[in-house]
Structure 1
């Protein structure tokens, strides 16, 4: 099965380099690695030197990156080059040694081949002065997602757990789902939307033990207040499409901080300043 890895890159150049190193050290090399340079002209120089790599430049507003659209662009480029299995890997993720092999193995089984395949993701601590030792990464899957034992496959029913850090789909399954909705801009919402599209298309969900990916450390805030406007706007897009509000934990945290208020229908309304600041 001709396999393509698809990565969307905007900045995070050292993370991308480590991903390339991880792919090169894998037990199975992909036939193709499509890297979508999303408003980032420096990406081609980073991935040069391997005939399997193909860069697609995709212009966008850096302040409102269309991540779902960029993944669709990468998938289209892979399919044009004959890919039969699409493996999506976030630029922050280093693939485990057996990630490609496990996705290939499960995609080739009749009972799983038409499903959406998701592997466990371990969040890494900050790297040491010489980066990460790729041969000694410790597997500690994120507790919010299923993590079957290596070699096992677990059928899932909760499509809200889908995330795009690491997943795979055959070309037929990808086309059946229809790709990512391209209405989302910036941070939040497009993964949950994709999961709902898969559920609506009656595509199965499988959690693939042993298809490990390792998410490299970068600074974050909780809740992600730097993405407040994106989350509010994308939540409204999602609600129009599916009739319920996603990212509920973040919206509740924003409301508690006085950054938004909710109307009678639950719609988040961006406030010009936190409530505490208004009352002072």
Structure 2
């Protein structure tokens, strides 16, 4: 079983990527592919392959970059693809856990639990990561080594920041829709495509990932235009809007309004 770790990065996540590389190298992944979006030097990126991905017309082309990284890993002979966001560090044993589960269930898409770290954590210390393990309560957290099939409703809890898939599963589709650019909805769209095709989604106990701290906003005002654009694309396909909690928060602040058919900006904030 040849395991590839794939990530998407741009200049703003370079430091986070460095910590991820430390963990990936410690676990001896067979192939480490970084899809680098936009400008910036990449000579110091500790990866086996660095793919240059041009910026999108409306925002970071994260969906296109993920597809490119996965295609490259398959082309190079990888059997198991582990996709991590650049700000996520795999826990000790996570790559082996994902690889073993891919071997047992090559038909499925696999998701491990994610713990969000506070500032100041030494993410290069596996013992510190283990001590900080606190999986996000919004998603199932099976026992170590256990698998649990997602219910139809739980497909909406798929988060692309940490998941794994067999190369054969990837080749059969679905792929990320490259019409999504910028922040939001491309992973929920992918999950809906999985559900529509009847592809199993499995929660993998013990395949921990750790989200490194960085400042955030809630709701994410800096991504408002992306959310409106990508949300409209999603709604056109699936008949409903994603990211409902954020849309409600934007509306409560007077920044957007529902015109009977779609959400629209009402301010320039």
Q: What TM-score do the two structures reach when normalised by structure 2?
A: 0.93
What corresponds to 1:102 in structure 2? 97
1:81-124, CA deviations, whole angstroms, 9 ceiling, x for partnerless residues?
01111110110001111111111111122xx3211100111000
Aligned residues: 264
Map 1:1-280; keep pairs closer than 5 Å. Answer: 1-11=1-11, 12-26=13-27, 29-47=28-46, 53-61=48-56, 64-109=59-104, 112-127=105-120, 133-137=125-129, 138-157=132-151, 158-265=154-261, 267-273=262-268
- Which SS does the other structure have where 1:46 is aligned? coil
Partner of 1:278: none
Q: Distance in 2 between matches of 1:126 and 1:44?
A: 28
Residue 219 of structure 1 and its aligned partner are, at CA, apart by 0.3
Q: Which consecutive residues of structure 2, in runs of 5 or more, have no partner in the other structure?
A: none
1:277 aligns to what? none
1:149 positional shift: 1.2
Cα pair distance change 1:20/1:85, threshold 3 Å? same
**Larger Rg, first or second structure (1 or 2):** 1
Post-superposition offset of 1:132: 5.2
TM-score w.r.t. structure 1 length?
Answer: 0.90
1-side partners of 2:123 and 2:102: how far apart?
A: 33
User: Against the structure 1 CA distance between its residues 271 and 163, is the aligned structure 2 distance closer, same or farther, given a 3 Å change threshold?
Assistant: same
Say if 1:45 and 1:273 are closer, same or farther in 2 by CA, change over 3 A.
Answer: closer
Q: Give yes or no for contact 1:39–1:62 (8 Å, CA) kept in 2.
A: no
What SS class does the counterpart of residue 148 from structure 1 fall into? Answer: coil
**Residues 122-173 of structure 1: per-residue CA shift (max 9 Å, x gap):** 0000125x76533321210011111111111111122100011100011121
Give secondary structure in 2 for the equivalent of 1:47. Answer: coil
Aligned-pair Cα RMSD in Å: 1.6
> What is the rounded CA distance, in whole Å, between the counterparts of 1:154 and 1:123 in structure 2?
22
- Which runs of at least 4 in structure 1 moved beyond 6 Å after TM superposition? none
* Inter-CA distance 222–123: structure 2 relative to 1 (3 Å threshold): same
Distance 1:271 1:126, change over 3 A: same
CA contact (8 A) 1:173 1:203 kept: no
Q: Deviations over 1:237-273 (max 9, x none)?
A: 10111111111111111100000000223x1011134
Report SS of the residue matched to 2:34.
strand
Q: Output the CA distance in 2 between the equivalents of 1:72 and 1:242.
A: 21
Contact 1:118 1:208 in 2 (8 A): yes
CA separation in 1, counterparts of 2:158 and 2:66? 15
Which stretch shifts more, 58-67 or 11-20? 58-67
Structure 1 residue runs without a partner (length 5+)? 275-280
